[in-house]
Structure 1
Amino acid sequence: MFGIKTKLRELKSDAGDLRRYGYGSVKKKHERKAYHKTPELNVIQKVHIVNEQELKQQRKQTFKNNYKVSIITPLYNTPGQFLEELLTSLKNQTYANWELCLADGSDADHKYVGEICKEWQRKDARIVYEVLKENKGISENTNECLKLATGDYIGLLDHDDVLHPSAIFEMVKAMNESGADFLYSDEVKYSGDICKISDPLAFNLKPGFGKDDLRSHNYICHFTVFSKKLLETQEQFYRKEYDGSQDHDMVLRLTERAEKIVHVPKVLYYWRMHNNSVAQNLDSKSYAVDAAIRAVSGQLVREHESGKVGSSLPFRTIYKVDYDIINTPLVSIVVHNCKSEKQIKDTVERIFEVTDYKNIEIIYLFNKTCKTIQIKLENNSKVKWIECKNYSDAEEWNLGVQSAHGEYIVLMDVKCRPANSRWLDEMLMFAQREDVVTVGPKIYYRDRSVAYAGIALSKKKKSGLYWLCQYNTIDEIGYEGMLCHARDTSASMAGCMMFKKKNWEENQKFDSCMGKLADIDFCLKGSRNHKLNVWTSYSEILYTGENLIPETGDSEISAFKNEWKEEIVKETYCHPMWEKLGLV
């Protein structure tokens, strides 16, 4: 009976969506459900379990640089079983040149901690153990632990967690291949039997390094390894005043100085969930939120950026930076792809009606079928039009940008409508940064399904593009909350994106040879010049059409892939397992 009622509710919902949004919306809803279906256990196990034959091969492998890795673990009243499992995970490492540095701040009621460590130390000289004179808290205890380290690289392991058998091997392999001085891997939250982890959402399968991702939350977390030379650039390793988010503060500071940051896209760390862990319950360490806000604020000061940091409520551990907008510059909104006077009129009036930011001009580009439109008198001086005769997309965009008087440009498809009043401010605060080339907003369809939430490059896709979060709605937070914060991405899109006019000139404008992919090409040229493309969830746009993603021809795709083949292979803003597990 319950199953029948559920089916009837689904049919009623489908009928409503069919009336309101059409067949395409109903089809997408069922595709989303199928995409996010939980994979079989054997599929999930392949994400993190390595067979014994491969582990045996790893033990035999040698490297040109046989780096010594010091694993740093401060102890405090660690449960005996947890400690035994941690020590066993080190013993089982396939790479042998490691040391485990244990600094014990446990109280007199937990003498067994020292007894366990000393017993293991007698069997394995790579275990270094010291009793602290007093417990000074996580940061100072870790700093004391660090004094025991003699390795070339430092790895961080919490006292209640365990390492994957391949963890140190994979990190040393990446060091040899890339020369990285800061590395991090994927992780998974667990309790009980590691082999029976069945929830794909327990895995944190991360993208490559993103400055804006890290300011939004400490997604790097575990397993983190960095060179001792990099650590020596800091006056302090952990800072007591950041207890609770000491890792976030440390990662922010080290990545600022790192010469090469590498993400190893493998699950190398098991983060145990229990009553007192941050993994299980944020409230057990609620002061961590305040410390993280201060850590991100500190980076703004060091980077000479002005802005205010706070929790992005209702998400306490996602942080939003409100950068100060300098001098209220003129923003030119170039409305393109205009097919009718009604479209233009609706879009222009919506912009004026909704937008908080007032120093704007609107330029709409039209073909011969469109006439000038009637705008309310008080806004006439802010609107102008340009006729385009059989222009390509790139030529049309270039003409609009060239005619603009603004220091900043927004390219906007005529079917896009601002959905919140600060949509322009939220993009402008990023676009004004010198390290940013373009900024894109959250774009969604009338049925609230995601139209644009960032783009990654993909060698698996025919077009070479992986449109992120296409199987989500904006009512969802997305995998690892990725629909709820600002993050770096490979490209923005001409549907709606902001950039400095200066960047357009430096990037040699939009290239007609790239056809429908000229906007993506423009973004990647900025990346090649070491600038970022940023996606922000706080700027919202409603797309009133049916499909925002342009159809591309074989010749366009071929030209694009040929120009960006190296970048496609080296893409880091997505994870190879996201699609396989139905996550993003």
Structure 2
Amino acid sequence: MPSLLLVQPETTSPESAGHISRAVSHARLNGLDIEVVTRSELSKKVDLNDVDAVMYVPAGVSLYRTAVTDFFEALNKDSDVSVVYSDGEKLALPDFSPQRLLCQNYLRGPVVFSANSEIVTNFASSEFGDVAAVYFTLLDIDFRGGCFEHISQPLYSYKTDSLLGLSEDEIVQCSEVLKRARAVRGGGTIGNYLGLGVFESRGSVVGDPLVSIVIPTQALYSDHQGTSQSLVVNAVKSIVWLTDYSNYELIVVVDSGADDHVLAELRKLGGPKLRIVEWTKPFNFSQKMNFGVLHAQGEYVLLLNDDVEVLSRQWLSSMLVLAQLPNAGMAGAMLYYEDDTIQHAGHAYYQGSPTHIGLGLPRGSHGPLGGYLVSREASGVTAACALMPMKVFKEVGGFTALLPGNFNDVDLCLKVGWRGYDIYWTPEAELYHFESKTRDAHVHYYELDVIEHRWGLRLDDSRYWRGHPWSAN
């Protein structure tokens, strides 16, 4: 008979205990041998060889009647699965997101993991409290290459105001857990606790690779904020003055009619890092960007609009950390409109329509599950600011010339995902985006036809963002 140890907190409310008892009874009727223990009792177990799985049910959680059975069945349907988690009532979780887990333990509901004796022993004997001990265990399983299975339906409810919140002691302990997790993954830093289980947590840049920043532009003056300004000059100025990562080059692709004064300002700002290349053909953002990349020498290429301004010193290094991950295809940034509302917190491909996550919400919004605060996996990111390994850009063929104005970045992201690469977004890279100030951004019907014909059902992708993309909470 399959065996499971169900671990509950030392103190469990009568209501939660009643729901656990009901779920255990249902599982026993379905042929599962279950023993309910606390973590201190688990540490006294001498022989775990006969145990198939361990389930942890946190405080304040009430299991649905079939929950234990459903969790165990999901664990055993595939021998490669190491951890199973599920949605909760009014709590829709993303598919497994290891980068997000390194910044936020969003798996705070019940979890089941296979009974590897070393992992169970470490969990049982951990010096941390239950919350941090579970977090350490999940990160340890991920580091060992374990597979996480997500049941995308609710199997529990919870009474606490926020299942993701942490007490002061839990903040200290989870911060230490993250320091250890970063240490075994090559190092990194753990900063402030931001709420909703989110920490400022980032890895370290490996080496000193050259990043080629490619900026297509008309290189003209235009009216901006009531004065005549050059957006590309402002963009380059912010890069030069604020960027904390120094090994980059600037490839500015200018139209034939570029203003000589703009070019002179660019050369003065960019110095030896700058290379200006001339684009002599009609407007086609995709072809113009591809042309710029042909002149790039970096191991990584940053695709950047000319109508942006850098806000955070670590904008480039924080994206580079993500772009250097083993299977990374792209990394994107948090972009704001000039009125300090969010323009982009990742792409959402929602019910067949591409859009921006967080669009129009106030700067500083937390978002569902703290989604606007945390570095995380994404289905796509805007090419207004996107960093890619050069080899990935070349492998997928760059931008398609079939989409000269709109959706070219959606197509690029979907090609990157189709090739099996991961895409990331980080709020640590912050920029203003004065979107489409220098061109007509009207979407043409043929552009919609092209993107729908090329990608169809892939334009409905809720793996990493559940629910409406403009949700405030």
Structure 2: how far apart are the matches of 1:222 and 1:68?
Answer: 23
Per the alignment, residue 217 of structure 1 pairs with 104
Distance 1:392 1:236, change over 3 A: farther
2:390 is aligned with 1:501: yes
Per the alignment, residue 233 of structure 2 pairs with 345
Whichever structure has more helix as a proportion of its residues is: 1
Pick from 303, 308, 311 the counterpart of residue 189 of structure 2: 308
| Contact 2:99–2:376 (Cα < 8 Å) also in 1 | yes
Per the alignment, residue 434 of structure 2 pairs with 544
Per the alignment, residue 224 of structure 2 pairs with none
| Contact 2:349–2:379 (Cα < 8 Å) also in 1 | yes
1:68: Cα distance to partner? Answer: 4.7
Aligned residues: 456
Give TM-score scaled by structure 2 length: 0.83
CA deviation profile, 1:285-308 (whole Å, cap 9, x unmatched): x332233233233333444x2222
Identical aligned residues as a percent: 19
1:72: Cα distance to partner? Answer: 0.8
2:254 is aligned with 1:366: yes
Per the alignment, residue 406 of structure 1 pairs with 298
Per the alignment, residue 424 of structure 1 pairs with 316
| Contact 1:103–1:144 (Cα < 8 Å) also in 2 | no
Structure 2: how far apart are the matches of 1:424 and 1:451?
Answer: 19
Per the alignment, residue 142 of structure 2 pairs with 255
Per the alignment, residue 293 of structure 1 pairs with 175
The structure with the largest alpha-carbon Rg is 1
Q: After alignment, is 515-524 or 392-401 more displaced?
A: 515-524
Tell me the SS of whatever aligns to 1:209: coil
Tell me the SS of whatever aligns to 2:85: strand
Structure 2: how far apart are the matches of 1:298 and 1:264?
Answer: 29
Structure 2: how far apart are the matches of 1:509 and 1:281?
Answer: 42
Distance 1:185 1:399, change over 3 A: same
| Contact 2:119–2:137 (Cα < 8 Å) also in 1 | no
1:380: Cα distance to partner? Answer: 3.0
Distance 1:288 1:555, change over 3 A: same
Structure 2: how far apart are the matches of 1:503 and 1:152?
Answer: 41
Pick from 20, 35, 44 the counterpart of residue 86 of structure 1: 20
Per the alignment, residue 470 of structure 1 pairs with 359
Per the alignment, residue 335 of structure 1 pairs with 215
AA at the equivalent of 1:367: D
Q: After alignment, is 439-448 or 176-185 more displaced?
A: 176-185
Structure 2: how far apart are the matches of 1:327 and 1:264?
Answer: 39
AA at the equivalent of 2:414: L
Q: After alignment, is 557-566 or 527-536 more displaced?
A: 557-566
1:345: Cα distance to partner? Answer: 2.2
1:400: Cα distance to partner? Answer: 0.8
Tell me the SS of whatever aligns to 2:366: coil
Where structure 1 has 5 or more consecutive residues not aligned to the other structure, the ranges are 1-66, 105-137, 189-202
2:344 is aligned with 1:452: yes
1:526: Cα distance to partner? Answer: 3.0
Distance 1:550 1:97, change over 3 A: farther
1:537: Cα distance to partner? Answer: 0.5
Structure 1: how far apart are the matches of 2:22 and 2:14?
Answer: 12
| Contact 1:74–1:102 (Cα < 8 Å) also in 2 | yes
| Contact 2:231–2:308 (Cα < 8 Å) also in 1 | no
Per the alignment, residue 481 of structure 1 pairs with 370
AA at the equivalent of 1:236: T
Tell me the SS of whatever aligns to 1:207: coil
Structure 2: how far apart are the matches of 1:223 and 1:442?
Answer: 31
CA deviation profile, 1:177-214 (whole Å, cap 9, x unmatched): 777443211225xxxxxxxxxxxxxx432111111110
Distance 1:507 1:69, change over 3 A: farther
| Contact 1:94–1:166 (Cα < 8 Å) also in 2 | no
CA deviation profile, 1:221-241 (whole Å, cap 9, x unmatched): 21212334xx35747340413
2:103 is aligned with 1:103: no
Distance 1:280 1:309, change over 3 A: closer
1:440: Cα distance to partner? Answer: 0.8
| Contact 1:187–1:205 (Cα < 8 Å) also in 2 | yes
Pick from 526, 546, 552 the counterpart of residue 416 of structure 2: 526
Distance 1:97 1:567, change over 3 A: farther
2:118 is aligned with 1:236: no
Per the alignment, residue 155 of structure 1 pairs with 55
Distance 1:161 1:449, change over 3 A: same
Per the alignment, residue 330 of structure 2 pairs with 438
AA at the equivalent of 2:318: E
Give TM-score scaled by structure 1 length: 0.69
Distance 1:550 1:299, change over 3 A: farther
Tell me the SS of whatever aligns to 2:99: helix
Distance 1:302 1:444, change over 3 A: same
| Contact 1:440–1:493 (Cα < 8 Å) also in 2 | yes
1:167: Cα distance to partner? Answer: 2.2
Where structure 2 has 5 or more consecutive residues not aligned to the other structure, the ranges are 222-229
Distance 1:535 1:75, change over 3 A: closer
AA at the equivalent of 1:356: D
1:401: Cα distance to partner? Answer: 1.1
Per the alignment, residue 225 of structure 2 pairs with none
Q: After alignment, is 80-89 or 340-349 more displaced?
A: 80-89
